[in-house]
Structure formats: structure tokens, C-alpha cells
Structure 1
Amino acid sequence: MDEVNEKLKNFIINSTASGIKLNCLPSFSRHREWKRDNLCYKGSRLYQAIIAFLILAAARHYLDELFTNEDCTIEMPHQLQKAFRPPENCNFCREVRHVPRLSNVNPDEFERIYAYTGGPVIVADATVNWTATKYFDYWFFKDVYQTYGRRKSAARCQFFPYRTGFRNIYEALNLSEARVNYEPGQEPWYFGWSNCDPEIVKVLRQHYGRPYFLPRASENNPVDWVFMGGTGLGAHMHVDNVRLPSWQSQLKGAKEWILAPPPECYYSCNFLTVVVRTGDTIVLDTNKWYHRTNVLSGEISITVGAEYD
């Protein structure tokens, strides 16, 4: 409460400097006795504002302490998040006219030129030594979540059904073989989820690791993301609500990425389209770039990614 006490001290100093008497404060609980000739009447509205401010400050401090690292009780609707998003400085996209494609890149060079400029950039050889490109498929994830996924920590991980109507990861990983294989007459599917369960993280990370090109001093976010699905679906146009840039590796299949600058940069920056194929890793700041993805025809698309600092 040190912050609240300091603010109270400053208010008292400013109030007394303005000629308001501190002995008037108790009279606010007896507002029916106020009169215009009462010495305490002058400045009463200011005192009310002070009291309201202190109550809100104390409540905010209490709630911050209570809910730190907890899930939101009520989450702001996505459209409102965008409405209240602060405007971006368009320098991050003003000179971007295409998506560079790199390989055998030095981490120091990547840090200096690409890592924190907002992107986008594609590194083509980051998954060369990963076994995820061989082992990851729908049935692999189904088996992992049947083994570990009923734990409470796994159930708390975030899930994106997109346009499928799935309610959670368990429902998404309980499809018929015909639908998984996109047999004629079956509905398309595409979904994503955060891998926040430490046991599942340990299993999956046996098959992939931190991309070699990231800055040497950077660290991966402990939560990874997985996106999986077939032709006909993908993520809608959106901007993420994250703090850091991120990477996403295409382990199987291919996806088209459509990138758009934020509305305040429409007349300064370009719209971009790029295809991310098996083995490619795309890096960009998804909190700045609006983005949409389309799974291309062929193999089921599987990607994994994370934020980095």
C-alpha cells in the first residue's frame, strides 16, 4: 500500500496549500448538515473526488494483488480490445515491401536486422534437425492428450476453435478417422491451443527446440502454441494481444499468410502475402501486424510457435 499512502500524502499537501481545512474531512459523513455558509462546504466536491480516487486506488491495489497470474474473471471482447488499442508508430512497416527469406543466418545478424523490428521474415532451415516434422500428426496429439491431458493444468490452457464449433481441445481431438483424413462429405477442421501444461510441454519439446537463429540472450516463452487443420480453414484476420514478437514453424503442410498494417498505417505501409511451407519459420510481431491464414491444399497443416523476448 506504499503507493496509495504516497498519493494520499500528496493530496493532503496539495489540499492544505489550497486553504482547505483537514478538520472538514469527517463532516463528509454528515453531508445533510452542510450549508453554503459552512466553512467545510467550500471544496467539498474536491474532497469527494479525493476520497473516490483513494478508494479506487486501494481497490486496484487489492485486486492486482489478488488476481496476479490468475485468469480473467471477465475478458474484454475482441472487438473492444481492438477499439482501445493504442495507435502504432508506422515506422515498423513503412519500408517493408516483401517478406525476406533467409537460411544459415547468424543469430547476431538476425538480432541486429530482424529480431525486434516487427518483421516479417522467414527462416527456411530452422527445423532441419527437429523430429517433429516426422512424428507430429493428429493421432500423435490425440495420444499425448489421452495420456496427460485430463490434468487440471491442461484444461486451463487457451483453446481457439475458429469456425469449427469445438468447445475444447478434448472435443477437437476426438474426431472420426474419416473427418481427420478429409474423406468426401466430411467437414473441414482447424483449431489451435496453448500448451501450458508442463508435462505435455516436456513431451512435445523432445521433438523441437528453440530456433537456432534467435538472439543469443533471448528466451522462449514457456507457453508454446500449436495450430493444426486442413484445407478450407485458417485463422480469421486479427491482431494478437501479446507483449513480444513471436516465431511459428511450419512442421507439415503449407499456409498462406495475409498481413495487413494497422488502420492508422494503411496509407504508409503495404499489405503482404506470403506462403509458409514445410520447414519454414515465420517471425513477426503479431501485436502490430494484422494477419489471416489459409491452409493450402495437400497435407494437414501443423505449426508450433512461441513468443521470445
Structure 2
Amino acid sequence: MESWPVMNTDDFWFDNITQLYLQDEKLMDTVPCILTTNLRTGSSDLHAFLKRIHSPKVDKWFVHWQNCDINAVKALRKFYQRPYFLSSSVSPAHFNWVLMSSDYNTKIYKKIIYYSGLIMLAQLRGSTAFRLTPHNPCNSSCPELLGDLQEGEMLVFTNFMWTFEYFPGRNLDNVAILTETVWEEGST
């Protein structure tokens, strides 16, 4: 991820993502398929949430949302690139997620319900603690995997075998992007 432009700028953080959603005409009306946060905004409106986190009175929060609207998926792609190790025959992400938090501390894992087969989590800022739990029948012989993803690192797995849960980073500012790509047998 070292070559990604977003990794080589100090002013990234949530301002770039929030401005993207609040100012882009194609994204103003987009509605995430899934939005989960600890903040009450009175609705599941992403715009209301993004405006709220800019208030100095708001701290200790987390959010993750799934883009399934094609305009939102394409707009977020400018923050990440195809990893060098991924074959060009694998199609671009069908859906993508934003995981953000600020000074949020919890002991409860947050679960991401994803649909497509190849999952990649790219840590842009801060860190994310994760748990991968194997599906049946592997769960009888495969251990649960626990780890910490640090800034600039990427976790790649398939949903055929693993369930993913995470602790929002305990750092002050954390941003990660999770992508879902259709991954069928026979793809190389």
C-alpha cells in the first residue's frame, strides 16, 4: 500500500471521505446498504452522521457502512488500488465498506456481514484488531485467528471459510476500507 497516494498524505483522515460524500453530487443521494454506529443521529442517514462527527462535542465514536450503490463504490475506489499481488483477471470490488473510529474503546466485536467471496481490508490510518472465525466444517480443526492490522497493512481472506469481526481502533483516528470482490472457483 506504500504506493497508494492516500498513504502519502498527512491530511487524509476522515475529512477527505466525509467531504467526498457531502459534496459529490452523485453521492449526496446515495444511501448505504448497511450503516452501524454508536452515535444516535435520529436516522440511519449517512449525511447526518458525517455532519455530526465534525462537531467538537462529539468524541469516542465508530461507524462502518457498506456502499452498494455503484456511484458510491466507484467514488471510494480513488482511495485504494488493486493490490500488486491480485491477478488482473479478478474483477474490481463489487461492494466496499468504510470503517472509521475516533478514540473508541470497546470489548465487543463489531461484525461485518459481507456477500462476495474475496475480502480485503486495507488499514489506511490507525489500527484495527480483528477476529477471523472459521466456518463449519473447518471450525472443528481450524483455530480462531486474532490479529492487529496496522497502518499500511492489508488482510485478505475469503468469506467461504471465515467470518470477520473487529474492534474499532483504539487510536485517536482510524480508517480502513474493506472491499468485496466476486471470487469464484476457476478465477485466477
Indicate the TM-score class for this superposition, using the shorter chain for normalisation: 0.7 to 0.9
The one-letter amino acid of 1:150's match is M
1:200, distance to aligned residue in structure 2 (A)? 4.4
Asked whether the 8 Å contact 2:112–2:165 carries over to 1, the reply is no
- Correspondence 1:258-269 to 2 at 5 A: 258-262=131-135, 264-269=137-142
Q: Hey, what does 1:232 align to over in structure 2?
A: 105
Q: Distance in 2 between matches of 1:239 and 1:194?
A: 9
Q: Distance in 1 between matches of 2:78 and 2:112?
A: 30
| Unmatched 5+ stretches in structure 1 | 1-126, 183-187
Residue of 45, 50, 54 corresponding to 1:168: 45
Q: Distance in 1 between matches of 2:119 and 2:85?
A: 13
Q: Hey, what does 2:16 align to over in structure 1?
A: 140
Q: Hey, what does 1:254 align to over in structure 2?
A: 127
Secondary structure at the residue paired with 1:255? strand
Q: Hey, what does 1:177 align to over in structure 2?
A: 55
| Unmatched 5+ stretches in structure 2 | 184-188
1:239, distance to aligned residue in structure 2 (A)? 6.7
RMSD: 2.7
Which of 1 and 2 has greater Rg?
Answer: 1
- Please identify which structure carries the higher helix content: 1
TM-score (norm 2): 0.77
Q: Distance in 2 between matches of 1:237 and 1:201?
A: 22
Q: Distance in 2 between matches of 1:234 and 1:203?
A: 33
Secondary structure at the residue paired with 1:174? helix
Q: Deviations over 1:247-282 (max 9, x none)?
A: 110000001112222365443111221110000010
The structure-2 alpha-carbon separation of the partners of 1:163 and 1:287, relative to structure 1 and needing over 3 Å to count, comes to farther
Secondary structure at the residue paired with 1:161? strand
The structure-2 alpha-carbon separation of the partners of 1:160 and 1:199, relative to structure 1 and needing over 3 Å to count, comes to closer
The structure-2 alpha-carbon separation of the partners of 1:137 and 1:259, relative to structure 1 and needing over 3 Å to count, comes to same
TM-score (norm 1): 0.49
Secondary structure at the residue paired with 2:47? helix
The one-letter amino acid of 1:143's match is Q
Q: Distance in 1 between matches of 2:110 and 2:178?
A: 18
The one-letter amino acid of 1:161's match is T
The one-letter amino acid of 1:223's match is F
Asked whether the 8 Å contact 1:261–1:289 carries over to 2, the reply is yes
- Correspondence 1:209-228 to 2 at 5 A: 209-228=81-100
The structure-2 alpha-carbon separation of the partners of 1:279 and 1:241, relative to structure 1 and needing over 3 Å to count, comes to closer
Residue of 150, 172, 176 corresponding to 2:28: 150
1:225, distance to aligned residue in structure 2 (A)? 1.6
Asked whether the 8 Å contact 2:120–2:157 carries over to 1, the reply is yes
Secondary structure at the residue paired with 2:51? coil
Tell me how many residue pairs correspond in the alignment: 174
- Correspondence 1:46-61 to 2 at 5 A: none
- Please identify which structure carries the higher strand content: 2
